[in-house]
Structure 1
């Protein structure tokens, strides 16, 4: 069940990250969702593995948004 919540939070984190990044980014809604989910999964597992926060904390959502922003930034630089 934790993975389902991580994916849902990743979807929202991707939308938040897309709204926070400026300019016209390549990729549409699907790519934003995929990058948000990937950022969320990576940030959740890395943050919890390092002991930065336990599961279910707001810090996980913040880390998910940061992870999604980083992945969107990398994707934008690679596709340009």
Structure 2
């Protein structure tokens, strides 16, 4: 049940990060989950663990990390299209 909860929370946080910067994550739901999980890892590495925690993710660092991940992915995908 813990893995399922992690996937759900990671997907929601990845989706919220995409809404905040108005970018779509390639891959839809799976892309949101990956962005949320990688963003959680990146945010914790850059800023540490602080703020409210849900499903093993600290909300503030995870959102900031997911925003960074989505921004990088969007930049790379935009460069590849041109």
TM-score > 0.5 by shorter chain: yes
CA 13–35 in structure 1, closer or farther in 2 if over 3 Å, else same = same
TM-score, normalised to structure 2, is 0.65
Which structure exhibits the higher relative contact order, with contacts defined as CA atoms closer than 8 Å and separated by 6 or more residues?
1
Provide structure 1 residue ranges, at least 5 long, that are not aligned to the other structure.
Answer: none
Output the aligned Cα RMSD: 2.6
CA 6–41 in structure 1, closer or farther in 2 if over 3 Å, else same = farther
How many residues in Structure 1 have an aligned counterpart in Structure 2?
Answer: 70
Q: Runs of at least 4 residues of structure 1 off by over 4 A?
A: 3-8
Provide structure 2 residue ranges, at least 5 long, that are not aligned to the other structure.
Answer: none
1:27-66 Cα deviation digits (max 9, x unpaired): 122112211111112223x214xxxx3xxx4272111001
Q: Which residue of 1 aligns with 2:32?
A: 32
